[in-house]
Amino acid sequence: MTRPAPSKWALLALSFAVLVLLDQWTKYLAVERLTFAFERAEARAAGEKVRAFYGMRHLERIAREPYVVWKPVWRMNYVENPGAAWGLFRGMSEGLRNAFFTAISLGAVVFILLYYRKLEERQRYLQVALAFVISGAVGNFIDRVARRYVIDFIEWHWWNRPDIRWPTFNLADSLIVVGVALLVLHPGPKRAGAAAAAGNEKGAPGV
């Protein structure tokens, strides 16, 4: 006997748990390996490091030198982003900025869940895409609640030119971009329905 496929809500719960934990873990590694935060806090045990990870703020001043992954184009560099992608809304006051991002994050989560609720069990593609988006949004939202900024650490730059680079990002940003790209690339119910109708028309006998 084959096991029944997991329900769409089980898939969302599992994906969400794994992806959010992975996002937070990569940010933890960024703090551990790209800053001197744990040394300053004298955190040695795992519990002490987790408390320092969520309790310490503004670590750019004690950041290490960037770690080079592939010298021509890729390095890891600890950056704190109080704004949105590409540093948008940095000019807002902290209180207004945090209220704005809280409203946006909660609104996005509610919208995604309502949309997800309408999906059929067989629509795995859309379920995965929405799981990526909601996981990325919540991953960055956790950062804002804990620190009032988002930890970024992945830095891609032009060939041997670190001064010409893509804005530093993190795993949560990647999840959102990939999830949205999957949604954009999906043919959608109208096109799928039109294709099915065209197929039926071709298969219909001539009059």
Active site amino acids: 152, 173
| Residue 53 CB coordination number (10 Å) | 23
136, 137, 139, 144 alpha-carbon torsion, rounded to 10°: 150
- The pair of structure tokens assigned to 92 is 């807002």
How far, in Å, CA of 150 to CA of 170, rounded?
Answer: 9
176 is written with which tokens? 């959102």
Structure tokens at 167: 């804005």
b/e string for 136-154 if b means 16 or more Cβ within 10 A? bbbbbbbbbeebbbbbbbb
Phi and psi (nearest 5°) for 94? -60, -45
Other beta carbons within 10 angstroms of residue 200's beta carbon come to 9
- Residue ranges of alpha helices (H) inside 148-187 are 171-185
Per the CB < 8 A criterion, the answer to whether 43 and 159 are in contact is no
CA–CA separation, 131 and 70 (whole Å): 30
